[in-house]
Amino acid sequence: MKNALRSLMFMGLAVLLFSSAFVMDRTEVVSVAKSAGRAAWLTSLGFDLLAEHDGRIFLVASPEDLARLADLRLPFRDETARLRAGHPAEPAPAGGINGDYHSYRELEAELTALAQNYPSLAKLSTIGRSLEGRNLYALKVSDNAALDEQEPAFLVVGCHHAREWISVEVPLLFARHLLEEYARNGEVQDIVNRGEIWVVPLLNPDGLEYSIHVYRYWRKNRRLNADGSFGIDLNRNYGYKWGYDDVGSSGTPASEVYRGTAPFSEPETDACQRFFRQHDFRALVSYHSYSQIILYPWGYIDAPTDKDAALAEMARTMAELMRPVNGRLYDFDRAAVGLYTTNGDTTDWAYAESGIPAFTIELPPVDILHGGFFNKETDILPLFRENLPALLFLAQTAFAAPSQESGNERDERTAAPPRRGGDRGKD
């Protein structure tokens, strides 16, 4: 029965992969024989793993990836036609190619409307421009939004990675909830009155547009690299421990976790850095998908910070607040333990920069066989609703907390060697 269930889930994945709603231009799905350590090895080389099924490892492969597999003399099987067979494409969602998910222009229009409809509570700012010239928007929610009152602040960031469409929606819905509920919800009113909530729902607009219109699995930004490949992983481009090793990021431009040529080399991460330093942020959440887990520093190395117990307790509280909403249990752990090592990422940098509670929330599902990056449109509201109590809790905590000191360098002197992570979806 268990094997039959796994097969059903896998074939459900096949339907998602080849739905007409998700464009996969010039891309194949291939499989290679599974062996000890092969999944981790392929991940370290930058290949995009989907699932392990029936003794095979399935990956998304561009023409360049197929050439790399041939160069590695690794036999592979083309699974594309087999997965398509017997699974007619589903019609495109009524809302367009990305349905209820927001494109850059749709998000821009909604943020503008929120700021116009709630002028005393919301202020829309442009914190920079993307590589291709799109605005990077930040929406401020506060009781006197037009004024700089030097209040404590809470930052929620979405979509470092283009294919993680759901990571745009949860921050956006959080901002909308605060504005719509302010007049009738005492808890929301108290939070908004005590500080500034800043929401940056889309840090990678160029990548998102490419994911919508060209290649659904696109992850990075759209930087043309020196070798002719495209893209830098924005969540490996932050300054703290940038390039610490080639496990938590890669120096190879074609890799899905390519860190770029220098810390903050990308206009998107540079804008986030400058914006962060202009405000008194007391907590940060960076949304990603998938894995259904709450992560906290350190990610670059398997070692605790000096605030490990406090961060773990906050993560536990968040998970407990989220569970009753839909009955879904989020795991929680230090990033290097709970998922795999990452260097140059957002939350390590924010913690090292200011000592604040900083979390990566990997939204559901738990794995690729349950849908991976392809959340249903009907999942958007339930996923937001289960995250809302945790976000309100973090805002309350942030606005009650004094300013934090920077991360402690003694953490690094006593740290253990880096560990190789698993083969779950890369955050």
Residue 201 lies in a domain: yes
Q: Which residues of 220-256 are buried (b: 16+ CB within 10 A; e: fewer)?
A: bbbbebeeebbbbbbbbbbbbbbbbeebbbbebbbbb
CATH number reported for the structural domain that contains residue 386 in this entry: 3.40.630.10
Angle at 413 between CA 338 and CA 362, to 5 degrees: 20
Given 49, 84, 119, the domain boundary residue is: 84
263 bridge partner residues: none
CATH number reported for the structural domain that contains residue 56 in this entry: 3.30.70
Residue 425 lies in a domain: no
Residue 233 lies in a domain: yes
Q: Are residues 259 and 348 in the same domain?
A: yes
Q: Are residues 23 and 158 in the same domain?
A: no
Residue 89 lies in a domain: no
Q: Are residues 192 and 51 in the same domain?
A: no
Q: Are residues 50 and 112 in the same domain?
A: no
pLDDT of residue 87: 32
Catalytic annotation present for 108: no
Whether residue 334 contacts residue 290, with contact meaning beta carbons closer than 8 Å, is answered with no
Q: Are residues 8 and 120 in the same domain?
A: no
Catalytic site residue from 164, 169, 266, 362 = 362
Query: What is the length of the chain?
Result: 427
Residue 99 lies in a domain: no
Q: How far apart are CA 158 and CA 288, in angstroms?
A: 7
Instruction: Using the structure block, give the residue that is written with the tokens 């330093």.
Output: 277
Q: Measured between alpha carbons, how far is residue 35 from residues 41, 48, 52 in Å?
A: 10, 17, 11
Q: Are residues 268 and 333 in the same domain?
A: yes
Half-sphere exposure of 426 (CA within 13 A, CB side): 36
Given 84, 115, 133, the domain boundary residue is: 84
Residue 90 lies in a domain: no
Which residues constitute the domain of residue 75? 2-84
pLDDT of residue 300: 97
- Which value, in Å, is the radius of gyration of the alpha carbons in the chain? 21
Could you list the pLDDT tens digit for every one of the 427 residues in the chain?
A: 434 434 434 444 443 443 333 333 455 778 899 998 898 888 778 787 766 777 888 887 877 888 889 999 999 988 766 644 333 333 334 445 788 999 999 999 999 999 999 999 999 999 999 999 999 999 999 999 999 889 999 999 999 999 999 999 999 999 999 999 999 999 999 999 999 999 999 999 999 999 999 888 899 999 999 999 999 999 999 999 999 999 999 999 988 899 999 999 999 999 999 999 999 999 999 999 989 999 999 999 999 999 999 999 999 999 999 999 999 999 999 999 998 899 999 999 999 999 999 999 999 998 766 777 888 899 999 999 999 999 999 999 999 967 655 444 434 433 433 333 333 445 6
| Nearest Cα residue to 174 out of 361, 408, 324, 369 | 361
136 bridge partner residues: 128
Q: Are residues 25 and 165 in the same domain?
A: no
Q: Are residues 28 and 126 in the same domain?
A: no
Q: Are residues 278 and 153 in the same domain?
A: yes
Residue 91 lies in a domain: no
Q: Are residues 77 and 114 in the same domain?
A: no
What's the structural domain count of the chain?
Answer: 2
Q: Are residues 41 and 129 in the same domain?
A: no
3-state secondary structure string across 330-378:
CEEEEHHHHCCCCCCCHHHHHHHHHCCCEEEEEECCCCHHHCCCCCCHH
- Backbone dihedral region of 57: left (phi > 0), alpha (psi from -120 to 50 degrees) or beta? beta
Residue 144 lies in a domain: yes
Given 84, 115, 135, the domain boundary residue is: 84
pLDDT of residue 8: 38
Q: Are residues 36 and 132 in the same domain?
A: no
